[in-house]
Amino acid sequence: MYRLNEAQTALVEKVRQIAVESIAPYASEVDAQSRFPSEAIEALAKGGFFGLTIPTKYGGLGQGLRVAGAVLDEIAQVDASTAMVYLMHLSGCACYVAYPAPFENVLRDIAAGKHLTTLAWSERGSRSHFWAPVSQAVEENGQLSLSATKSWVTSAGQADSYIVSTRTAGGTAPTDTMLYAVYKDDPGFAVNGTWNSLGMRGNGSSPMVLEKTVIAADRAVCAPNDGFRTMLEVVLPWFNPGNAAVSIGLAEAATRATISHLTGSGMQHLGNRLADFPTLRARLAQMRIETDKSRAHLVAVIDSVENPGPMTTLLVLESKASAGEAAIKVTDLGMQSCGGAAFSKHLTIERNFRDARAASVMAPTTDVLWDFIGRALCGIDLF
């Protein structure tokens, strides 16, 4: 459905092989132990996928959203936590690619599979409204420093760099913001809690704090006071459709597991298979339709991002809300269709069901996206 050329198809086949050999075998253990999916991330690095969207002049694969979407979809079919770690990495990469001059070494390291990045945006004070950080950089004697409480950071303590948002030093409006690269060993920067969640349990999205962390001048990942625009115009067109691809992968996994269970299990006393019950087949049909609709919508979004037009912003906003809610519906149908076998962890469906719920509360949340979309349709300013 992604309409890939031969070279792009080869990349997706390569990631599918990595998914089968190096991600799937650990997925249920990662979930049960709520541990970081190190084997999966190492395999993606080794396979060249850290640099998927990094321009070829830095050694990357130079791919765009189309291939990224297909790759995220594949990974999420076996482990959504790994897919989410990878999505946050690609979102961080988008910042470095958009503002490359001070980060050429980082871009080369990413392409070489030596550097994992992520976003540290959400703050305790403004919660899911990431576009309005309440922390503020402070400038004293020509030196910039930052103290902030970041409430959820995917790959916390595992990533090599973190794209940190904050209010611009001296800025007065909530949207006077900056993005800075903070590296894992920067003094004052530390993980500040553990990650124990309903779903996405391998995500390592622990809180992090910065305490008077000194920010050198060459750590800005955007033009002066351009954080707000960068978040919305550079990162969101990667993050929202990418998050949709993760939801679609989850929905695909639940649909396939349901097919397998309905056709592979039956009632001995009736001499039939579960697939012989029309109600269960009807649920399965709805799962297939919702998943296919979501993927088709995502491809329309990708087409529009590649050839921007008046609908592009709306479609980007729609993508995450649409696929995220669809995945919740699909995985719920899978739980109902497969009964106790799904409930008791015999199948992957209950993990898919728990993982799927994350999209709804990850910023921009479904509620916020619905509000933005409604505002856009009614000609009301978004902010």
Ligand X SMILES: Cc1cc2nc3c(=O)[nH]c(=O)nc-3n(C[C@H](O)[C@H](O)[C@H](O)COP(=O)(O)OP(=O)(O)OC[C@H]3O[C@@H](n4cnc5c(N)ncnc54)[C@H](O)[C@@H]3O)c2cc1C
Site for ligand X, rule CB under 6 A: 88, 118-122, 127-128, 130, 152-154, 200, 203, 205, 358, 361-363, 365, 367-368, 371
Backbone CA torsion sign across 180, 181, 184, 187: negative
Compute the least distance from the CB of residue 367 to ligand X, in Å: 3
CA distances from 86 to 118, 132, 203 (A): 9, 25, 10
Compute the least distance from the CB of residue 166 to ligand X, in Å: 12
CA distance 163 to 99: 12
Which one, 25 or 374, has the nearer CB to ligand X?
Answer: 374
Compute the least distance from the CB of residue 13 to ligand X, in Å: 28
CA distances from 178 to 132, 190, 223, 337 (A): 11, 20, 8, 48
Cβ pair 337, 280 in contact under 8 A: yes
Sheet holding 161-167, edge to edge: 117-120, 161-167, 177-183
Compute the least distance from the CB of residue 331 to ligand X, in Å: 15
CA distances from 351 to 32, 219, 297, 345, 354 (A): 10, 38, 24, 8, 5
Which one, 4 or 368, has the nearer CB to ligand X?
Answer: 368
Compute the least distance from the CB of residue 195 to ligand X, in Å: 9
Which one, 255 or 365, has the nearer CB to ligand X?
Answer: 365
Which one, 45 or 153, has the nearer CB to ligand X?
Answer: 153
Which one, 314 or 368, has the nearer CB to ligand X?
Answer: 368
Helical spans, DSSP H, in the chain: 6-18, 24-33, 38-46, 65-78, 80-98, 104-111, 227-229, 236-264, 278-306, 312-343, 349-356, 358-361, 366-378
Compute the least distance from the CB of residue 167 to ligand X, in Å: 15
CA distance 283 to 263: 14
Which one, 48 or 202, has the nearer CB to ligand X?
Answer: 202
Which one, 247 or 365, has the nearer CB to ligand X?
Answer: 365
Specify the length of the chain in residues: 383
DSSP state of 54: S
CA atoms within 13 A on the CB side of 187: 4
Which one, 153 or 330, has the nearer CB to ligand X?
Answer: 153
Compute the least distance from the CB of residue 118 to ligand X, in Å: 5
Identity of the residue numbered 2: Y
DSSP state of 184: T
Compute the least distance from the CB of residue 62 to ligand X, in Å: 25
